Amino acid sequence: MNNVEFDDLIGQLRQENEALKVELEEKSHKALQLEQLILSKDRAGLNLKQAEKAHHEELLLLRTLINHLPSSIFVIDNQYRKTAFNEAHLKRIETTLGKQVKLSEEDILGKTNWDVYPKEVADQYYEEDRKVIEKGETVIEREIFQTDKLGNQVWETISKIPMRDDDDIIIGMLGIAHDVTKNKLAEIALHDSEERYRFLFENNPAPMLIYKRGSLQILAVNEAFINHYGYKKEEALTMVLPDFYPENEKETIVQFTAGLEGYKNVGEWHHQKANGELITIISTSNDIVFEGQKARVAVITDITNRKLMENKLKASEEKFRLISNSAHDGIFMLNEESRLIYWNPAVEKIFGCTGEELAFIDINRLLLSPKQEDKNDRVIQVSSIIDTFGETGLSLDVEVKRRDGEFIQIELSLAPLKISDLWGAVGIVRDISERKTVEKELILSKERAEESDRLKSAFLAMMSHELRTPLNAVIGFSSLIEETMEVHEIMEMVKIINDSGNHLLSVIDSIFSLALLQSGTSKVLTEDFPLSNFLTGLKPYITTRLVKDKKEHLDLIVNTNTVNPELIIRSDRTKLTQLMINFFDNAIKYTTNGSIEYGCMVEGSSFTFYVKDTGIGIPNDKQTLIFERFRQVEDSLTRTHGGVGLGLSICKEIAELLNGEIWVESKSGHGSIFYFRIENIVAE
Ligand code: ADP
């Protein structure tokens, strides 16, 4: 039975009881009226017979009425004999006795209780009846409880009133008994239910309180409340609801509770415990009537720890967000289908995509390398990372194409992880294009360093060879000269010594020239001189060299056709000469047959000096390299032509010093043309 049903039943029973009472009162009143009527009739001296008839009729009426009353009514005389009773009383005796047979009026009328009930029951009745009949006491609605012979529990209220004659002598007793079993049962049920609710309230593990509406006086708090808040029960019961709230919430809670009605989840507030500790709570409350007063019962949940955890979680999320947002590396998460479910701004930056473009995109679409672009091969499958790569995941360097079309080199590492029981992956992506470039440069410079180390060794070996050869000649031949020798023999040796000395000097000269040029100590000294004069002035040097090198058979062509004989140029004549001489030396050195031609082509403000030969030529792949220090087409010591590989380096340094350009055009076996171009050297 629920509360409402129970309340209804109680209400119904109470109503029934009230109705019975009213009916009984009305009927007693009527009996009184009848008595008065009889008396008044007597007084009026009416015909006795008529009066008797009327009296008989009235008694009949009264008896009928009494007989039909549900309450048990009986009268006993001062001899304890039942002189009158109604149907209900007869029934009551029947149920008390538990007899199956029906009792008739004769079985009871004029009989005492001892005649009807077992002795102990009759004695019990006598005990009380005696007080009424012999002492004139009145029993009003005494509650009696008994179990009838059928085993039913029966509650009654019994009233016993002494009956007196005109002389105020007690002549008997009127007894009226109401069956209040239904009410009593309801009362017991109500009590039980109240007990149950009280038990639930008291023993509820959640703190609970009941406060009075209006005054907000605390009417009850449960055990959990006392334990949790640390107040004593008596103390709590002297408090009002706002007392539990911190200063800044007191006023608000007063206003808030005023508007509360029915079942409400009243949201998040703060309560102060007895020790001053502030806790965060949520509360649900409802209207109740408590001890006849309008009140609200509230169940409180302390969410301080939950809040603390939430805040910690928020703080840690915030920390992660900050780290993730400011990270240069892209951080992302994939779901089981290899789709992006989280990424930081760096991922957008690296792939050049917007957030919308990245949302839920298959990672493989981002990783498509330029070569795979059309194939749409699936590279990464989160669902099989563990099987394929194990717990540590995978790490790869790939070239990918950004949204803007730029190719970048990325390093990607992907580790599997479980997200809500499903396999996913967390990945880190880094743009390593710059690192790759640096790496390439590093490799290059390492190779260069190794090359230069190799060259240095080769150079030292060559220098040793180049310097030792003439020195050996000088020392060797000079030690051979003796007084006894013929003059022409001595002269031959002296010539060899002189040649070797000169060669040694030229090698040392080259080294010093280059060192000077490279150290920046060599200054440009400009002077004005006629171009044609400069060109023709070089001719004697070549002729001498040709003779010296025994290459007089080579044709020497001086091309001054393109040059205005009046043209005066301004430049460093010595350096220009040095450059041209180096070109000539090589042309003569590397040409056996044919010709050597030189000149200057003037085009506007541009002057291009050249030396052309019909010598061995230079293979294409060596045409840049020969301008580097100590670099030669043939690096081996067994090379057929002399030289230390410094001549062209000197030319290059001079060209740079004079703000010019140097290059070669050549074909292996067909000769070479060395060029040197400078601008704006016409003297004003
Ligand atoms: P080297 O003292 O070895 O001549 P250079 O720096 O003057 O040094 O020249 C570098 C290399 O370039 C030479 O060793 C040679 O292999 C090549 N070379 C220079 N000039 C010519 C040329 N006119 N014909 C063919 N090869 C040449």
In terms of pLDDT, which residue wins out, 408 or 377?
A: 408
Residue 378 has a pLDDT of: 47
pLDDT band of 469, cuts 50, 70, 90: confident
Q: Is the pLDDT of residue 338 over 70?
A: yes
Share of the chain above pLDDT 70, in %: 90
Work out the burial of residue 410: count CB atoms within 10 Å of its CB; fewer than 13 is exposed, 13-18 middle, 19 or more buried.
Answer: buried
Residue 452's pLDDT band, with cuts at 50, 70 and 90, is confident
Ligand 1: centre distance to CA 673 (Å): 12
Residue with the nearest Cα to atom 13 of ligand 1?
A: 632
Q: Is 671 in the pocket of ligand 1 (CB under 6 A)?
A: no
Which of 219-233, 236-250, 394-408, 632-646 has the least mean pLDDT? 632-646
Task: Give residue 568's pLDDT band: very low, low, confident or very high (50, 70, 90).
Answer: very high
Kindly give the number of the ligand 1 atom that is closest to the alpha carbon of 627: 6
The pLDDT of residue 194 is above 80: yes
> Which pair of structure tokens corresponds to residue 10?
């109680």
Q: CA 30 to CA 33: how far, in whole Å? A: 5
The distance from CA 341 to its chain's CA centroid, rounded to whole angstroms, is 11
CATH code given to domain 327-431: 3.30.450.20
Is residue 487's pLDDT more than 60?
A: yes
Q: How many angstroms is it from 643 CA to the middle of ligand 1? A: 8
Pocket test of ligand 1: the residue of 545, 632, 641, 653 to mutate, having most ligand atoms within 8 Å of its CB, is 632
Question: Ligand 1 pocket, 633 CB below 6 A?
Answer: yes
Confidence class of residue 615 from pLDDT cuts 50, 70 and 90?
very high
**pLDDT tens for each residue of 258-305:** 888 888 888 899 999 999 999 999 999 999 999 889 999 999 999 999
* pLDDT 10s digits, 84-122: 888 888 888 888 787 676 788 888 999 999 999 889 989
672 lines ligand 1 (CB under 6 A): yes
pLDDT band at 315 (very low <50, low <70, confident <90, very high): very high
- Give distance in angstroms: CA of 642 to centre of ligand 1: 9
611 in contact with ligand 1, CB cutoff 6 A: no
Query: Which has more pLDDT, 83 or 643?
Result: 83
- CA distance linking residue 386 with residue 382, whole number of Å: 8
Pocket test for ligand 1, best of 580, 590, 627, 668 (most atoms within 8 A of CB): 590
Task: Please tell me if the CB atom of residue 648 comes closer than 6 angstroms to any atom of ligand 1.
Answer: yes
Token pair of 461 as six digits: 């070996």
Residue 470 to residues 271, 461, 505, 636: CA-CA distances in angstroms? Answer: 106, 15, 10, 19
Parallel, antiparallel or unpaired: strands 555-559 and 595-603:
parallel
- 523-679 falls under which CATH superfamily? Histidine kinase-like ATPase, C-terminal domain (3.30.565.10)
Higher pLDDT, residue 193 or 584: 584
At which residue do the structure tokens 């020790």 appear? 275
* Residue having the nearest C-alpha atom to atom 19 of ligand 1: 586
Better-predicted residue by pLDDT, 43 or 472: 472
List, as own/partner pairs, every contact residues 552-556 make where C-beta atoms lie below 8 angstroms and the sequence separation is at least 24, other chains included. 553/593, 554/588, 554/591, 554/593, 554/594, 554/595, 554/596, 555/594, 555/595, 555/596, 556/595, 556/596, 556/597
pLDDT of residue 206: 93
What radius of gyration, in Å, describes the C-alpha atoms of the chain?
66
CA 44 – ligand 1 centroid, Å: 175
Topology given in CATH for the domain delimited by 66-165:
Beta-Lactamase (3.30.450)
> How many A from CA of 507 to the centre of ligand 1?
14
In this prediction, residue 45 carries a pLDDT of 58
For ligand 1, say whether the CB of 587 is within 6 Å of any of its atoms: yes
Q: Pick the atom of ligand 1 nearest to 644's CA.
A: 2
Look at ligand 1, atom 23, and give the residue with the nearest C-alpha.
587
Ligand 1 centre from 626 Cα, in Å?
Answer: 7
CA of residue 632 to ligand 1 center, whole Å: 6
- β pairing state of 661-666 and 595-603: unpaired
CA 225 to chain CA centroid, Å, is 36
Could you write out the DSSP letters of every residue in 266-332? EEEEEEE-TTS-EEEEEEEEEEEEETTEEEEEEEEEE-HHHHHHHHHHHHHHHHHHHHHHH-SSEEE
Instruction: For a ligand 1 pocket test, name from 626, 667, 673 the mutation site with the most ligand atoms within 8 angstroms of its C-beta.
Output: 626
DSSP for 110-165 reads T-BHHHHS-HHHHHHHHHHHHHHHHH---EEEEEEEEE-TTS-EEEEEEEEEEEE-
Q: Residues for the chain: how many in total?
A: 684
From the CA of 650, give the closest atom in ligand 1: 6
649 lines ligand 1 (CB under 6 A): yes
User: How far does residue 670's CA lie from ligand 1's centre (Å)?
Assistant: 15
The CATH number of domain 186-307, selected from 3.40.47.10, 3.30.450.20, 3.30.479.30, 3.40.718.10: 3.30.450.20
By alpha-carbon position, which residue is closest to atom 7 of ligand 1?
A: 647
Q: Kindly state the average pLDDT of the residues 231-258.
A: 94
When comparing pLDDT for 262 and 26, which is higher? 262
Say how many Å lie between the CA of residue 611 and the centre of ligand 1: 13
- pLDDT number for residue 376: 46
Give 199 Cα–ligand 1 centroid separation in angstroms.
Answer: 113
CA distance 466 to 462: 6
Ligand 1 contacts CB of residue 269 (under 6 A):
no
Q: Mean pLDDT score of the chain, rounded to an integer?
A: 86
More confident residue, 630 or 46: 630
The answer to whether 419 touches 335, Cβ cutoff 8 Å, is yes
Say how far residue 169 (Cα) sits from the centre of its chain: 98
